[in-house]
Amino acid sequence: MELNDITKILPYLLVALMVLLSSALADSFLRCLSQVPNTTTSDFVFTQNDTEYSSLLHSTIINLRFSTSVMPKPLAIITPLTYSHIQSTILCSKHFNIQIRIRSGGHDYAGLSYTSYDQSSFVVLDLQELRSITIESGQNTAWVESGATLGELYYWLSQEGLNLGFPSGICATVGVGGHISGGGFGTMIRKYGLAADNVIDARIVDANGRVLDRESMGEDLFWAIRGGGGGSFGVVVAWKVNLVYVPEKVTVFSLSKTIEQGGSSLFNRWQYIGHNLSEDLFIRVIILPALNKAGNRTMQIIFNSMFLGTVDKLIETVTDSFPELGLQESDCSEMSWIESILFFDNYPEGESIDVLIDRTHKAKSYFNAKSDYVQEPIPEEKLEDIWKWCLEGERPILIMEPHGGKMNEIEETRIPYPHRKGYLYSIQYFEQWQDDTIESSEKRNSWMRKMYENMTPYVSKDPRAAYVNYRDLDLGQNDNAGNTTYLNAMKWGNKYFGDNFERLAMVKGVVDPDNFFFYEQSIPPLIMSEENCGSGSYQSL
């Protein structure tokens, strides 16, 4: 055989060899799991040889960018039915040096809960079968397993017939585990803070396979898992949360103005008052392209709101604090809090709340996103530039979420989420598309990076803050488990967590010093030496 012929077939031989090695590793891993007493692995372990594997892998992926054939696939998908299945998965993965990706709802923006960018062998621990919800109405608390969706939590709260809700996100199919792990904000953020602010206990399976609650894990680890990003410290299997009061009726509205209709000046006014309104009033802003009356492309400014009270009280509140909006009673709708969940998640009017327990994703697309935080209002004269940059994109959406209220009252070190007093609102830059060509992806990604760069003068600085639940690998990523360093990770860690990043890394150094729970933006272990801390360890941070 000629050298040229060997060169041509070498890549195919390497691929075949990798497949054989992966298959052998998967078989060894499966044999390890099968040694667990009273366990039938076929009930919860799915390898690439199983017919259910592909549909299960793709079942909860919402970003089609990470479901393509070229993305690395897990050796196996484990859908644990008991906590012991998680324990054995961790121990067997450690034995064979296999990484774990942890998935609760599949909404990870960068696909980090179900793929790997460094080509390491990995398995997906999919928690969808661990989704029990136990409501303790007498104590206004609930135990919620991480595999439950926000929609399932909201639905079962509504079935209690009490004025109880939970302050978390608006997308019903988001998994509870990932949402709370990153902080979690929604329409009641200004009244009750983040979802993670309302966690009072948790159960976690750590790197040694131990199931720990708040008392046994200690306050440092309990602090870290409430907003420090999922997947770095162990597998959080359940959360005990405080439930909050919601009135019999809430009022919602969605008022839209184009630039030509004064939308820009209204947005400018919102920048100054959105974070200072009544804590019962949440008004976010959604900005996207539209056609004006002349048929020309322009920008549309949508004021999307929920008020914890009746329409009469809402009109009184808005007339007093935001009269420029010109809100009328006819713009508003009174409904129950559970019905408002359907409103914000864009379900058709009249849809049954039963849809909240349907875990099927409404729509999937290719998308990209980034995040920012604003501490000073963007000068009104600069808004025209921003609208122009938006119009350079195909279908961009900017979503501004107000802070203030309860968020101002909570210290930035109380949990890892640091963006508290002094932050006016967050920005999510979002663009989606339906065709899977490389050209489409590159075009959208190029616009996103350019938009992010253009916004630099108008957003937070030193560091430029970002929201960990909108994962962004452009901010930086770990090299691999062996070369992860705290200094390298500061590039993205300080943006997500500010000064809390150091404490997160120190907790990691205690609970997972070998960095078993590793992925592209996992918290790296920062281990204090004897020289630095005297005894070589610490009891409390």
pLDDT classification of 22: cutoffs 50, 70, 90: low
Query: What are the tens digits of pLDDT across the range 85-113?
Result: 999 999 999 999 999 999 999 899 999 99
Residue 337 falls in which region: left (phi positive, over 0), alpha (psi -120 to 50) or beta: alpha
Residues 6+ apart with CB under 8 A from 369: 109, 428, 429, 430, 431, 448, 470, 472
Sheet of 425-433, strand order: 332-335, 250-258, 297-307, 281-291, 396-402, 425-433, 366-374
* Complete DSSP assignment for 405-428: THHHHS-TTSSS----TT--EEEE
What is d(CA 231, CA 516) in angstroms, rounded to the nearest whole number? 10
pLDDT at 373 over 90: yes
pLDDT of 134 > 90? The answer is yes
Mean pLDDT of the region 438-466: 95
pLDDT at 138 over 80: yes
Q: What 3-state DSSP class applies to 400?
A: strand
Backbone phi, then psi, for 16, in 5-degree steps?
-60, -40
Q: How far apart are CA 109 and CA 103, in angstroms?
A: 12
d(CA 495, CA 452): 14
3-state secondary structure of 442: helix
Answer with the residue of higher pLDDT: 42 or 215: 215
Of 18 and 447, the structure prediction assigns the larger pLDDT to: 447
Cβ atoms of 77 and 70 closer than 8 Å: no
**CA dihedral for 337, 343, 347, 351, sign (positive or negative):** positive
Lowest mean pLDDT across 61-75, 118-132, 158-172, 295-309 = 61-75
Model pLDDT, residue 338: 97
pLDDT score, position 536: 36
Q: pLDDT value at position 480?
A: 75
CA-to-CA dists, residue 475 to 179, 215, 386, 449, 539, angstroms: 20, 35, 22, 11, 32
Q: Looking at residue 18, what is its pLDDT?
A: 44
Domain locations in the chain as residue ranges: 3-126, 133-245, 250-335+363-456
Domain 3-126 identical in fold to domain 250-335+363-456: no
Q: Give the per-residue pLDDT at 400.
A: 98
Which residues are 244's β-sheet partners? Answer: 165
Name the pLDDT band for 528 (thresholds 50, 70, 90).
confident
- Beta-sheet pairing, 122-126 with 76-78: parallel
Q: Is the pLDDT of residue 540 over 70?
A: no
DSSP string, 492-539: HHHHHHTTHHHHHHHHHHHH-TT--S--TTPPPP-PPPHHHHSSS--S
Residue 533: pLDDT band (50, 70, 90) is very low
CATH number for the domain running over 250-335+363-456: 3.40.462.20
If pLDDT is split at 50, 70 and 90, which confidence band does 6 have? low
Q: Map 203-262 to HEC letters.
A: EEECCCCCEECHHHHCHHHHHHHCCCCCCCCCEEEEEEEECEECCCCEEEEEEEEEHHHC
Residue-level pLDDT at 306: 98
Handedness of CA 64, 69, 70, 71 (dihedral sign): positive
State the first-to-last Cα distance of the chain, in angstroms, to the nearest integer.
65
Question: Band of the pLDDT at 538, cuts 50, 70, 90?
Answer: very low
Helices (runs of H) and strands (runs of E) counted in the chain? 17, 18
For residue 185, the SS3 value is coil
- The alpha-helical segments, DSSP class H, found in 351-460 are 383-391, 406-409, 438-454
Instruction: Kindly state the average pLDDT of the residues 444-464.
Output: 97
Q: What residue type is assigned to position 39 of the chain? A: T
Task: Give the lowest-confidence range in 24-28, 487-491, 531-535.
Answer: 531-535
Give pLDDT, residue 27. Answer: 81
pLDDT of amino acid 497: 98
243-298 pLDDT, tens digit each: 999 999 999 999 999 999 999 999 999 999 999 999 999 999 999 999 988 889 99
Least confident of 32-46, 250-264, 371-385, 488-502: 32-46
Q: Which carries the bigger pLDDT value, residue 536 or residue 390? A: 390
pLDDT of residue 3 exceeding 70, the answer is no
Task: Report d(CA 288, CA 301) in Å as an integer.
Answer: 7
CATH code of the domain made up of 3-126: 3.30.43.10
Whether the bond into 463 is cis, omega within 30 of 0? yes
**How far is residue 235's CA from residue 242's CA, in Å, rounded to a whole number?**
21
Confidence band, pLDDT 50/70/90 cuts, at residue 15: very low
Confidence label for 534 from pLDDT (cuts 50, 70 and 90)? very low
What pLDDT, on a 0 to 100 scale, did the predictor assign at position 529? 66
Residue 482 — pLDDT band, cuts 50, 70, 90? Answer: low
Q: Averaged over 226-238, what is the pLDDT?
A: 97
Is 23 a residue whose pLDDT tops 80? no
CATH of domain 133-245: 3.30.465.10
What is the sign, positive or negative, of the torsion defined by CA atoms of 304, 305, 311, 315? negative
**CB count in 10 Å sphere of residue 445:** 14
